[in-house]
């Protein structure tokens, strides 16, 4: 993380110079907000992008980026509202459906998330200010290549992103962040073997880097090799016990490998790190049921329903499980709620 921050700082400095001359230049504020976000400075990103939106309330790009920042800050509900408004302003921006699906999942709105994923396309949010490209071009060097690669990636321009990240790696061959970003975009472009070769080369230099182990494990899992993914993800959480995403991915791989009890333990750790992660609570209920721990599965479902009371599918599952366990009052409560939702 510190290395990534160092490389992006130069891009931020260039944009700060622009804003020093024109503090109300909306495209510069948007670009600066993006850099803040890529540096992990979520609250700074929210402030900067919020200022852009104050100056131009109908700017769909500012709204989209602010939604991303809200999601990073853990405010999935506000992020969902931002993404919904982007789609109201630009219905053709089909890439936004993916971002909206992700925050719906965090909110436990599984059916809505599936619906959004079905609508996902390749149309990006269109900016209205012709200065935006000029502002993005002001920064130079490895940091700028990474920043522009990130923008291209988010907009679905994968080959452009690959080109920019390759330039970033060439400009600074020691940049672990640039190599990791390049690997991700290569994998998304379908070049998984090339991505893994790049990551394993980096791992030889930094064998105790949790991010690298997680990324390798994630890519192995995505291409259907859970046995190869498992040791990499386990190593990632051993190196960094608070690495939430690595634990989440490890839990999913364990579930896929038919180890529900072990998956449930990892999901308990995920929920200890983020009690509001409803997708983890739902999956924990599933794996607990597979492990035969039905009372615990029911308890998780009760908590999930309390967090997402309008989820018909979840309430139906809870009613069936309560019936099976002989908990008739709980089952009746769920059926009454389902009847009310159906009106």
Q: Kindly report the three-state secondary structure assignment for every residue of 219-244.
A: HHHHCCCHHHHHHHHHHHHHHCCCCH
Q: In whole angstroms, what is the distance from residue 27 CA to residue 32 CA?
A: 9
By CB neighbour count within 10 A (0-12 exposed, 13-18 middle, 19+ buried), where does 173 fall? exposed
* ∠ CA 340-82-244, rounded to 5°: 85
The residue ranking higher by pLDDT, 97 or 40, is: 97
Q: What domains can you pick out in the chain, each with its CATH number? A: 2-136 (1.25.40.10)
The mean predicted confidence, pLDDT, of the chain is: 86
Q: What pLDDT is attached to residue 154?
A: 67
Q: Distance between CA 206 and CA 297 in Å, rounded?
A: 40
Minimum mean pLDDT range among 85-94, 171-180, 239-248: 171-180
Distance, CA of 29 to CA of 45 (rounded, Å)? 9
**pLDDT at 4 > cutoff 60:** no
Contacts of 63 (CB under 8 A, 6+ apart): 53, 82, 85, 86, 89
Return the pLDDT at 5: 41
Asked whether residue 140 carries a pLDDT value surpassing 60, the answer given is no
142-192: per-residue pLDDT in tens? 667 777 787 777 677 888 889 988 988 888 888 777 888 899 889 888 899
For residue 70, which of 80, 55, 56, 60 has the smallest C-alpha distance? 80
Closest CA to 8 of 42, 32, 43, 26: 32
CB atoms within 10 A of CB 39: 21
The answer to whether residue 128 scores a pLDDT higher than 60 is no
Longest C-alpha distance within the chain, in Å? Answer: 70
pLDDT at residue 229 in the model: 96
d(CA 22, CA 287): 55
Structural tokens at position 97: 């459906």
The per-residue pLDDT for 78 is 94
Cα–Cα distances in angstroms (integers) from residue 114 to residues 102, 105, 108, 110, 151, in the given order? 10, 9, 11, 6, 25
- Name the CA dihedral angle for 307, 70, 218, 116, rounded to a multiple of 10 degrees: 70
Evaluate if residue 111 carries a pLDDT over 80.
yes
The torsion angles phi and psi of 26, rounded to 5 degrees, stand at -60, -45
Share of the chain above pLDDT 70, in %: 90
Give the pTM.
0.63
Spatial separation of the C-alpha atoms in residues 225 and 228, rounded to whole Å:
6
Decide if 252 contacts 283 (C-beta within 8 A): yes
Model confidence at 126: pLDDT above 80: no
| Percentage of the chain lying above the pLDDT 90 cut | 46
Cα–Cα dist 272/261, whole Å:
17
- Among the listed residues 34, 37, 29, the one whose alpha carbon sits nearest the alpha carbon of residue 56: 29
Question: Stretch 254-270: mean pLDDT, rounded?
Answer: 96
- State the Rg of the chain over Cα: 22
Q: Is 22 helix (H, G, I), strand (E, B) or coil?
A: coil
Q: Which string of DSSP letters, residue by residue, matches 122-183?
A: SPPPPP--THHHHHHTT--SHHHHHHHHHHHHHTT-HHHHHHHHHHHHHH-TT-HHHHHHHH
């Amino acid at each position: 993380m510190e290395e990534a921050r160092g490389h992006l700082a130069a891009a931020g400095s260039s944009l700060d110079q622009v804003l020093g001359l024109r503090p109300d230049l909306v495209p510069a504020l948007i670009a600066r907000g993006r850099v803040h976000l890529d540096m992990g400075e979520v609250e700074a990103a929210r402030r900067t992008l919020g200022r852009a939106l104050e100056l131009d309330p109908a700017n769909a790009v500012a709204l989209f980026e602010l939604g991303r920042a809200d999601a990073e800050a853990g405010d999935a509900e506000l992020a969902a509202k931002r993404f919904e408004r982007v789609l109201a302003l630009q219905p053709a921006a089909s890439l936004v459906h993916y971002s909206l699906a992700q925050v719906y999942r965090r909110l436990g709105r599984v059916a809505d998330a599936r619906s959004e994923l079905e609508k996902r396309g390749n149309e990006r949010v269109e900016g209205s200010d012709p200065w935006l490209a000029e502002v993005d071009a002001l920064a130079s060097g490895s940091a700028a290549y990474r920043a522009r690669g990130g923008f291209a990636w988010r907009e679905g321009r994968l080959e452009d992103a690959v080109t920019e990240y390759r330039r970033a790696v060439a400009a600074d061959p020691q940049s672990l962040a640039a190599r990791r970003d390049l690997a991700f975009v290569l994998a998304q472009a379908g070049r998984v073997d090339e991505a893994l070769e790049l990551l394993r080369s980096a791992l030889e230099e930094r064998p105790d880097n949790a991010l690298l182990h997680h990324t390798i494990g994630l890519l192995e899992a995505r291409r259907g090799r859970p046995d190869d993914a498992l040791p990499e993800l386990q190593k990632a959480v051993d190196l960094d016990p608070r690495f939430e995403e690595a634990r989440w991915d490890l839990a999913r791989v364990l579930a896929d490998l038919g180890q529900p009890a072990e998956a449930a333990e990892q999901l308990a750790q995920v929920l200890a790190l983020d009690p509001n992660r409803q997708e983890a609570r739902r999956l924990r209920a599933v794996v607990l049921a597979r492990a035969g721990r039905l009372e615990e599965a029911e308890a998780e479902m009760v908590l999930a329903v309390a967090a997402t009371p309008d989820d018909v599918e979840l309430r139906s599952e809870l009613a069936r499980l309560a019936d099976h366990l002989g908990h008739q009052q709980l089952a009746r409560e769920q059926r009454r709620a389902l009847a009310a939702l159906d009106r």
